[in-house]
Structure 1
Amino acid sequence: MDKMKITYEAMLGLFAEMVLDEAIQKYQSEQLNVAIDKALAAGDEDTFYSLTKQLNELQKD
């Protein structure tokens, strides 16, 4: 029974880590999208390309 409890706790820990990672990635994507919109509104082409590159890299993971 102890082996089963350890396995359950390990799985629960992995699941919690996955949920947290997904939440962080979603937050970062949202922040980058806001910054991209601001760069577009300001006509800042260099910042726009830099931020879109960052967003693309984040979405690959």
Structure 2
Amino acid sequence: MDNMKVAYETMLGLAAEMVLDEALRKYRTESIYKAIDEALAQGDAGKFKQLTDELKSFGS
């Protein structure tokens, strides 16, 4: 019975970690999109390139 409890707790921990990772990825992606919009509005090509490269590395 204890092995099942450990396995269950491990699975819950992994699920929580996956939810947190997804939330952080979504937050960061949205932040990058906002910064890209600002860079475009300011005409900052260097910042735009940096941010789009960063966004590409996220796989979005």
Unaligned residue ranges in structure 1 (runs of 5+)? none
Per the TM alignment, residue 59 of structure 1 is displaced from its structure 2 partner at its CA by: 2.2
Output aligned runs, 1:28-43, within 5 Å: 28-43=28-43
State the TM-score, normalized to the length of structure 2.
0.94
Aligned to 1:27: 27
State the TM-score, normalized to the length of structure 1.
0.93
Unaligned residue ranges in structure 2 (runs of 5+)? none
Runs of 4 or more off by more than 6 Å in structure 1?
none
Q: Report how many residues are paired.
A: 60
Percent identity, please. Answer: 55
